[in-house]
Chains A and B, each alone.
Chain A
Amino acid sequence: MELLSYDFIQRGLLAGILIAVSTALIGVFLILKRFAFLGAGLSHAAFGSIAISFLINADIHLTTVIFTVLIANLIEFLTQTRKVPGDTAIAVIFSSGMALAVIILGIAKGFGENLFSYLFGNILMVSKEELLYSFFVFLLTISFLLIFYKKLLITTFSEEIARVKGVNISFINYAFVSLTAVVIVASIKAVGVILASSMVVIPAMTGILLANSFLMSLVYSCLISVFSVISGILVSFKYDLPPSGTIVGISILAFILSFVLRKLPLK
């Protein structure tokens, strides 16, 4: 309990919980829409944007959010218009973001260490502004889901049926990928570019495996995600481990455990 008296631990825990809920909620929809890889694509695209921000000395958060939202919409456009398959579009964006960052690192010196810190993130270094951004992302995610829950559910089930039922599929999909981009940028601070997609995919998949309804898959995903973040932060601090890896490691353990639980006659 002594740990909780530290200011930076409190900030880290609070930001972590807000990000954990946001990533878990969008993760369930992304997995069921077979778009789970979008998180990885966007986080790596965001890395390219962070490098640009360093290069031109721009506001990192603002630049990265705008850039990542634009990239997310580009992926959705390419997928919707069937110009490129969705997974291929994501793979191209993924590689482009990393290539951009590597080139910028090669031509500009002096900020390599700062840039690399975004690769692995550190939730214990969250600033007040970043905590505020996490809170904004949390509110946005919750509001979006509350307003569009029924439409998102039927769209995830079948876009064709949803369209006949009068759902504006285009709007829902573009709005959803934009929200995903905003959430991914927040999760980069928690676990870094490399592991950001893990926060989106692993607790959500665990929740889906354990749940016997759509609503409960969202609830379980959030609980597992929040548990992973809280225990990850406390364990990493106590045993001097990197928080990002510990958070994701714990969520992977929960995922493995869920397989075992599914075999037991609990439901």
Chain B
Amino acid sequence: MRIVEVNNLNFSYDGRYKVLENVSFFVEEGDFLGIVGPNGAGKSTLFKLLLRFLKPQSGEILIFGKRIEEFRDWKSIGYVPQRLSVEHTFPGKVKELLFSVSHDKRETEYLIEYLKIGNILEKQFTKLSGGQQQKVLLAIALSSNPKLILLDEPTTGLDIHTLNHLINILLDLNSNHRKTIMMISHDIGTLLKYSNKILCLNRKVCYFGNPTGAIEFIEEVFGLRGILDGAS
């Protein structure tokens, strides 16, 4: 089943400069789609269009087979944003945040156990490390038991240990819990290694397919010829 289908999508913020041009791709149930591309390639904009924060000038987006204009079941999508502009004095504890989006106490307790965040529940979100914050955001995203999870650069700024831990969680969600994952990252090596599909975006789709065939196109887009040898 196709979870996401995008056909000839065009978007521009100012009506002139196209941030996305004729973008088409699809995501099937159980896919782990890695999205790569340089800064300003339209990756985060694509997520905002998929979440209906923005409306495209033209093109079609289908979510779970429904046209996005008619799609209402937003709780079946989990979203981990790229950058949170939370006020640095925000006093909310992790526990308060989790239970503000929780509809099922037992489900939330399972999530806390699953993500091993029981030790930080009483801490204020703004005082957590980057890795801990990412896990809390993932917990919030998973709180409605979504079938599709969108992650916008969740690995930025994480040390190698925290990065591996987060990737292992995502792989487990993907393979053992049948969650479909779409992840934007600049960590090309990680995406090539763990994704089953790659979307290389630079305002247009430069490549869409399996990771093995992606290297050549990614090298071209980033100007990295030879650097990614052996990455996959």
Contacts and interface: CB of A to CB of B under 8 A. Distances in A.
B91 A157 contact: no
Contact of A217 (B51, B78, B91, B143): B91
Given A157-B86, A213-B91, A164 B79 contact: yes
Nearest to A162: B101
B90 interface: yes
Nearest to A214: B92
Given A154-B97, A165-B144, A166-B75, A160 B53 contact: yes
Interface string B136-176: 01001101100000000000000000000000000000000
Contacts of B96: 153, 213-215
B100 to A, nearest CB: 4
A32 interface: yes
A149 B92 CA distance: 13
A158 B101 contact: no
Contacts of B93: 212-214
Contacts of A252: none
Nearest to A205: B89
A31 interface: yes
Q: Give the size category of B's interface with A.
A: 20 to 34
B84 interface: yes
A84 B81 CA distance: 25
A156 B84 CA distance: 11
B71 interface: no
Interface in A228-250: none
B77 interface: yes
A163 interface: yes
A215 B95 CA distance: 11
Contacts of A209: 89
A165 B87 contact: no
B124 interface: yes
Contacts of A151: 100
Contact of A158 (B51, B74, B81, B91): B81
Residue of B75, B81, B101, B144 most packed against chain A (CB within 10 A): B101
Interface in A115-159: 149-151, 153-154, 156-158
A161 interface: yes
B204 to A, nearest CB: 26
A34 B88 CA distance: 11
B90 A157 contact: yes
Interface in B41-61: 51, 53
Interface string B80-110: 0100111101111100110111000000000
Across the A-B interface, give the 9 residue pairs with the lowest CB-CB distance, nearest first: A214-B92, A150-B100, A153-B100, A164-B79, A217-B91, A154-B100, A213-B93, A211-B91, A32-B87
